[in-house]
């Protein structure tokens, strides 16, 4: 009889097995205002059944076009007298794509309203976490996080016991009850399964794909998860990362953030200068 271990294994890049709290839900996306149509007037019921018609498919939702006019409107709302309007504009700004920063920077440079400057700085901090930090996470040695808890029996059968919301595993569509039989195209070995899983995941850089072969409802399928840097709470719960290493990682990220803030954002640029270049683009001495 197979004996299933009671303690779940949480898969992360650092091969640490601890469950982290899921991150808060993403900010509400606010797009252009859409006028509500008035209710249609009541009509008499026609006893004749209507003819069957083929309705055209619904039109796809157009992505928000980011331009100078849109950003000027949102920035103006950040300084509105009404608090609710300011908060709505903040959420709207933070939901826009990365290219938004190029339009935001000139507004920050010339803003004389303290409220607007503070809110644009809040946007900039979020921009760093969403776009700048992930590009440098591998160089810093920052671990990634898959976000599943697993159980394994004496025969090495690995089954997903929990999928943590808001993680790469949830985004990839992994489900509780999936039996993991392979990683990156390789079958799980007999024995040392945990070691193999940890080693395979560690080889995937932040943003890189992890291919999991799973058995679900009698079928075998591949699930691709894009691993992202662990959140602060996830990192704190990775048991195999010691306190000294965690402190080093947090300090390295803070140093990166300060460098980006001083050498890029405050100088009206979205990206850090390349290593060996000064913020003005000339070779550093």
In tens, the pLDDT along 67-101 reads 999 999 999 999 999 999 999 999 999 999 999 99
- pLDDT for 199 equals 83
pLDDT for 189? 85
- 209: domain range? 9-16+147-230
Residue 52 lies in a domain: no
Whole-number Å distance between alpha carbons of 3 and 155: 9
Q: What is the pLDDT of residue 182?
A: 92
In-domain check, residue 214: yes
Residue 32 lies in a domain: no
pTM of the model: 0.66
- Identify the pLDDT of residue 9: 44
Q: What's the confidence (pLDDT) of residue 275? A: 60
Stretches in the chain below the pLDDT threshold 70 = 1-63, 274-285
Quick check: is 242 in a domain? no
pLDDT at 62: 58
Interacting residues of 95 by C-beta distance below 8 A, sequence separation 6+: 27, 28, 29, 30
> Which domain-ending residue is among 123, 140, 157?
140
35: exposed, middle or buried (Cβ count in 10 Å: 0-12, 13-18, 19+): exposed
Using only C-alpha atoms, the chain has a radius of gyration, in whole angstroms, of 25
Q: Say what the pLDDT of residue 274 is.
A: 67
251: closest CA among 263, 243, 262? 243
């Amino acid at each position: 009889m197979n004996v299933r271990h009671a303690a779940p294994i949480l898969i992360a890049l650092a091969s640490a097995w601890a469950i982290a709290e899921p991150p808060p839900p993403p900010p509400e996306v606010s797009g252009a205002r859409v006028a509500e149509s008035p209710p249609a007037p009541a009509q008499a019921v026609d006893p004749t059944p209507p003819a069957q018609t083929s309705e055209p498919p619904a039109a796809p939702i157009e992505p928000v076009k980011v331009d100078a006019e849109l950003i000027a409107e949102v920035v103006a709302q950040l300084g509105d007298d009404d608090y609710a309007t300011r908060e709505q504009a903040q959420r709207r700004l933070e939901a826009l794509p990365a290219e938004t920063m190029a339009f935001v920077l000139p507004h920050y440079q010339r803003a004389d309203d303290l409220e607007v400057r503070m809110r644009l700085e809040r946007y900039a901090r979020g921009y760093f976490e969403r776009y700048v930090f992930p590009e440098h996470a591998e160089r810093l040695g920052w671990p990634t996080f898959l976000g599943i808890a697993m159980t394994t029996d004496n025969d090495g059968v690995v089954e997903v016991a929990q999928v943590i919301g808001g993680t790469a595993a949830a985004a990839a569509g992994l489900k509780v009850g999936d039996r993991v039989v392979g990683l990156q195209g390789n079958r799980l070995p007999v024995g040392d399964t945990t070691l193999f899983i940890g080693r395979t995941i560690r080889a995937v850089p932040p943003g890189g794909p992890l291919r999991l072969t799973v058995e679900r409802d009698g079928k075998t399928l591949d699930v691709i998860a894009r691993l992202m840097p662990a959140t602060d709470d996830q990192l704190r719960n990775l048991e195999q990362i010691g306190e000294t290493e965690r402190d080093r990682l947090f300090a390295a990220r803070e140093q990166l953030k300060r460098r980006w803030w001083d050498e890029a954002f405050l100088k009206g640029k979205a990206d850090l200068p390349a290593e060996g270049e000064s913020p003005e683009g000339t070779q550093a001495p």
